[in-house]
């Protein structure tokens, strides 16, 4: 029963990944046979100023988007955990942005943050706050993609919501009998119980966010203005597809994978330590 899915994973993910790793150590432009480059591509990446900008932008994006997505997902799950009337509609609304196609979602945000007729600047003006150029402003352009990622935290919300609903009612009852209030009960009893689920949600976001920006930046900015929205996935795509520096682009993709694995390894180690305690 699992064989078709495993074959799909092998053909669409594992084999391309192995091919990418092998090309990362070559000079290849798709017009001639690849030649061995050793660590030359990685050495060139370390000297590439534009790669450094893309790396810095990516780390900035991850440092803000991952914690914000996790916090929003956790708060939403805590508020919408019950089955009271109307909450199912709010749960669906919270999940809806995550179900939108990437192109449609990106085009919607192009309108939302338009500096002339977008609703965000109109709301800021109505509140007497200064408007922003958003995607036209190098200081604010990257913040748009952070906000976009936060509104698409529906999958993490579902993971945490499922974790909260998996807690036995007897545990809630025991905490209430001991005199624990709502927040004390969740802070000292419920959240420590679902700690592995929380770690899984944070780990998933940390890995997926490394690749999140490719489609939005291609459609919305192309890395502009002044490289403010040039993230590593777009940089790798440009090098491989637009400039036909396929070996060089593969090397930058390997760097992305290494960076994506680091949060996972740290999360697993932290969870293992907490579970041992």
* 214 compared with 267, residue with greater pLDDT: 214
Contacts of 93 (CB under 8 A, 6+ apart): none
∠252-143-112 over CA atoms, to 5°? 120
CATH number for the domain that contains residue 68: 1.10.3720.10
The tally of domains found in the chain comes to 1
Residue 184 resides in a domain: yes
Prediction pTM value: 0.90
What is d(CA 277, CA 272) in angstroms, rounded to the nearest whole number?
A: 9
pLDDT single digits (tens) 77-127: 999 988 788 788 899 999 999 999 999 999 999 999 999 999 999 999 999
pLDDT at res. 173:
83
pLDDT at res. 268:
67
Tell whether the model's pLDDT for residue 270 goes beyond 80: no
Residue 32 resides in a domain: no
Residue 57 resides in a domain: yes
What is d(CA 208, CA 200) in angstroms, rounded to the nearest whole number?
A: 12
**Measuring CA to CA, which residue among 79, 95, 75 is closest to residue 198?**
75
| Cβ 12 vs Cβ 1: under 8 Å | no
pLDDT at res. 88:
86
At 27, is the pLDDT very low, low, confident or very high (cuts 50, 70, 90)?
Answer: very high
pLDDT at res. 267:
67
pLDDT single digits (tens) 32-74: 999 999 999 999 999 999 999 999 999 999 999 999 999 999 9
Which DSSP category does 180 fall into?
-
Tell whether the model's pLDDT for residue 276 goes beyond 70: no
Residue 235 resides in a domain: yes
Lowest mean pLDDT segment, chosen from 7-11, 135-139, 225-229: 7-11
Residue 1 resides in a domain: no
Residue 211 resides in a domain: yes
At 176, is the pLDDT very low, low, confident or very high (cuts 50, 70, 90)?
Answer: confident
pLDDT at res. 177:
81
Share of the chain above pLDDT 70, in %: 96
pLDDT single digits (tens) 178-205: 877 878 888 888 888 898 888 888 888 8
The torsion angles phi and psi of 66, rounded to 5 degrees, stand at -60, -50
Residue 249 resides in a domain: yes
Tell whether the model's pLDDT for residue 226 goes beyond 80: yes
Residue ranges making up the domain that contains 159: 41-276
Mean pLDDT, rounded, of the chain: 90
Residue 31 resides in a domain: no
pLDDT at res. 33:
93
Cα atoms in the 13 Å half-sphere on the side-chain side of 36: 1
- What DSSP letter does each residue of 206-260 carry, written as one string? HHHHHHHTHHHHHHHTTT-STTTT--HHHHHHIIIIIS--HHHHHHHHHHHHHHH
């Amino acid at each position: 029963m699992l064989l078709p899915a495993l074959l799909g994973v092998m053909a669409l993910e594992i084999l391309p990944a192995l091919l990418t790793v092998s090309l990362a150590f070559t000079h290849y432009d798709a017009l001639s046979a690849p030649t061995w480059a050793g660590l030359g591509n990685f050495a060139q990446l370390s000297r590439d100023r534009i790669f450094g900008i893309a790396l810095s932008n990516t780390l900035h994006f991850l440092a803000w988007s991952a914690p914000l997505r996790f916090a929003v997902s956790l708060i939403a799950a805590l508020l919408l955990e019950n089955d009271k009337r109307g909450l199912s509609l709010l749960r669906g609304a919270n999940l809806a942005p995550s179900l939108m196609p990437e192109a449609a979602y990106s085009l919607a945000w192009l309108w939302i943050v338009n500096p002339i007729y977008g609703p965000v600047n109109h709301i800021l003006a109505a509140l007497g706050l200064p408007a922003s150029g958003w995607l036209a402003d190098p200081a604010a352009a990257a913040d748009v993609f952070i906000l976009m990622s936060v509104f698409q935290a529906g999958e993490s919300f579902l993971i945490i919501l499922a974790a909260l609903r998996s807690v036995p009612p007897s545990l809630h009852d025991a905490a209430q009998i001991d005199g624990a209030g709502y927040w004390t009960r969740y802070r000292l009893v419920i959240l420590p119980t679902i700690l592995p689920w929380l770690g899984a949600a944070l780990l998933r976001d940390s890995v997926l966010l490394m690749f999140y920006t490719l489609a939005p930046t291609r459609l919305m900015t192309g890395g502009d203005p002044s490289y403010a929205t040039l993230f590593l996935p777009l940089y790798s795509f440009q090098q491989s597809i637009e400039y036909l520096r396929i070996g060089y682009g593969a090397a930058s993709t390997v760097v992305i994978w290494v960076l994506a694995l680091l949060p996972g390894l740290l999360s697993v180690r932290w969870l293992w330590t907490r579970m041992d305690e």
